[in-house]
Amino acid sequence: MLLARLSKISATLFVSMILAMIMLVGLWYYAADWLSWVQDGADLIEDMIASIPLEDRYNNFVRLFASDDKIVLLIFTIIARILLALVGSSFTALTGGHDRYRVKEPGLISQVSSMMATLFLSFIVAIIMLAVISIAAEGVLHSLLDAADWVEDQIAHLPIGGRWRAGVRFAVSDDKIVLLFFTIIARLLIALVATAVTRAVGGGDKPEIIAPKAKANANS
């Protein structure tokens, strides 16, 4: 059960980030003014992060992996994750997902708020993990960046037009790929910690089960 949940979390976050990159490329191609407006907002957030009183070696690394383009990627990843949740809910409703027993889920606003908070926290944890690795095991970080650079080169050779290729290279870079990898790891760690805390604090509480509509009507 836990393994299936972790696999679902990893796949969902990976797809969300891929969709975010596709959305960025589309926005770069069709609505450059809108993208510029989003980047201006990300610049303000970056300036706020840069003003945090840290040692230079930590602050420089945080500024590297929390730059405006990474913040824009985070924003669009959150948007993509929300869209995936909406599409998934609609698909479940259309395919008869409510005709079987299921666990009661929180409201839409609660789900969206939880997604935003969790993704933002995963992003922060990923940056912290990268900062620690850069200080304690710099060679490992270089190896990861080399592997990500190879992936970036493969993407750069996709058979697409010149302007689209430039947009892909704008949205996909080796540092973003590494950040994506560590964000997924951070999200898995958060899920494991949350599961452990839930079991320790309220392990005896069972989730509310919703019966199918036909069954509920028959019982009533």
Instruction: Return left, alpha or beta for 96; rule: phi > 0 is left, psi -120 to 50 is alpha, else beta.
Output: left
Beta bridge partners of 209: 103
What sign does the dihedral 109-110-112-116 (CA atoms) show? positive
DSSP conformation class of 72: H
Which long-range contacts link 134-142 to residues 24+ away (Cβ below 8 Å)?
134/61, 135/57, 141/178
* pTM recorded for the entire structure: 0.70
Cβ contact 94:77 at 8 Å = no
Specify the pLDDT at position 23. 85
Q: Which residues contact 149 (CB under 8 A, 6 or more apart)?
A: 174
What are the Cα distances from residue 79, in Å, to 57, 97, 138, 179, 184?
A: 32, 24, 33, 18, 17
Per-residue pLDDT tens listing for the chain (220 residues): 667 777 877 788 888 888 888 888 888 778 778 878 887 888 887 777 767 776 766 666 666 667 777 888 888 888 888 888 888 777 766 775 555 555 555 566 777 777 788 888 888 888 888 878 877 887 888 888 888 888 878 777 777 666 666 667 667 777 788 888 888 888 889 888 888 887 777 654 555 555 555 554 555 5
Alpha helices, DSSP H only, in the chain?
2-30, 32-50, 56-65, 68-94, 108-136, 138-156, 162-171, 174-202, 213-219
For residue 78, give the 3-state DSSP assignment.
helix
Provide the residue type at 75 as one letter: I
For residue 103, give the 3-state DSSP assignment.
strand
CA nearest neighbour of 64 among 178, 213, 187, 171: 178
